[in-house]
Amino acid sequence: MRPPSRDLVRRFQRRLLAWYAHHRRDLPWRHTRQPYRVLVSEVMLQQTQVDRVIPKYREFLRRYPTIHHLARARVEAVRRLWYPLGYNIRPVRLHAIARETVARYGGRLPDDAAALRRLPGIGRYTAGAVLSFAYGRDAAVLDTNVRRVLGRVFLGPRRLARVRGERAFWDLAEVLVPRGRAYDFNQALMDFGATWCTPRKPKCPRCPMRGFCATVAAF
Ligand code: SF4
């Protein structure tokens, strides 16, 4: 897939960040840059709605305020606390990450992608989230919402139908990250996908991307 022009990249970055300044959600994990807390929120948000995650995130951090507390806990207790969120391999993996991080890194999550991805259950998305949200690195994130936004804005329905796999989207996501602004940009992309460019009712008539969105242009 050909990368978008520099001009288009800049317009998208500017408009997304301006949109975020007015529409950002106030979420508890946006009040911290602590890697452990960022990791807990990201693992909880996999497969689970934000509204359900918020109270459990707070409860979890009251019980296990640091990665050392979590590493010392019994995995069954962690599972029990997590239980209502479902998809219960996640607390087991999080607990394993805590133990390995304490054992190998003295309790500090690594700040490079390769080392993060060697930890149990950490894939490219979670590594990008920890790097950009906790360490301020220019790392990309790609989840379902981000993929939809990028597909709509930069590809449109016909080109989108020809794309196979995730690689093209990761390449695109990486090109788009503005240097030094990955934190806000990635949070903005996720909010934009979750609340504005939604699967069923995207707000196209009022959208700041309307002038160059490939999906709008196709209809
Ligand atoms: S114009 Fe519509 S499809 Fe395009 S980014 Fe905006 S909300 Fe999404």
What residue ranges define each of the domains in the chain, with the CATH number in brackets? 6-25+140-217 (1.10.1670.10), 34-133 (1.10.340.30)
Residue 199 CA to ligand 1 centre (angstroms): 10
At CA 91, angle to CA 98 and CA 132, rounded to 5?
Answer: 60
Q: In degrees to the nearest 10, what's the CA dihedral of 28, 148, 13, 138?
A: 60
- Helix-helix angle 50-63:75-82, to 10 degrees: 150
CA distances from 15 to 8, 60, 116 (A): 11, 36, 31
Residues annotated as part of the active site: 42
**Both tokens assigned to 204:** 């196209």
Nearest CA to ligand 1 atom 4: 213
Residue 3 CA to ligand 1 centre (angstroms): 19
Ligand 1 pocket residue status of 204, Cβ below 6 Å:
yes
70-98: pLDDT as tens digits:
999 999 999 999 998 887 899 999 999 99
20-37: pLDDT as tens digits:
999 999 999 999 999 999
